[in-house]
Amino acid sequence: MLPPPELVRVSQPRVACDGASDIPGGAALGHPRVWLQIDEHGYVDCGYCDRRFVLIGGPADGADHSQLPDIAEGASPQ
């Protein structure tokens, strides 16, 4: 398995991703905003841009993410 393209450590289990929040020029370069829910695995992947959101202090925080499966369940469009 390849590691996810980008890891984002977050403090809340519910996160929003639009794929462009940190890109100058913003939303025109991203994807539709989706809300993701981190479950008992401690992480969730965005189905559009593959960013992986990891809950700080959760079971996946500090893990070798190249060995973890993709988890995109819980994605819901805004």
Position 77 pLDDT exceeds 50: no
Average pLDDT over residues 28-50: 89
Q: Which fold has domain 7-77?
A: HSP40/DNAj peptide-binding domain (2.60.260)
User: Confidence class of residue 1 from pLDDT cuts 50, 70 and 90?
Assistant: low
Please give the share of the chain, as a percent, with pLDDT higher than 70. Answer: 74
* pLDDT of res. 28: 62
* Extended strands (E) in the chain: 7-10, 14-17, 34-37, 43-45, 52-55, 76-77
Rounded to an integer, what distance in angstroms lies between the CA atom of residue 34 and that of residue 41? 19
The ranges assigned to domains in the chain are 7-77
Comparing 18 with 78, which gets the higher pLDDT?
Answer: 18
pLDDT of residue 20: 79
pTM of the model: 0.79
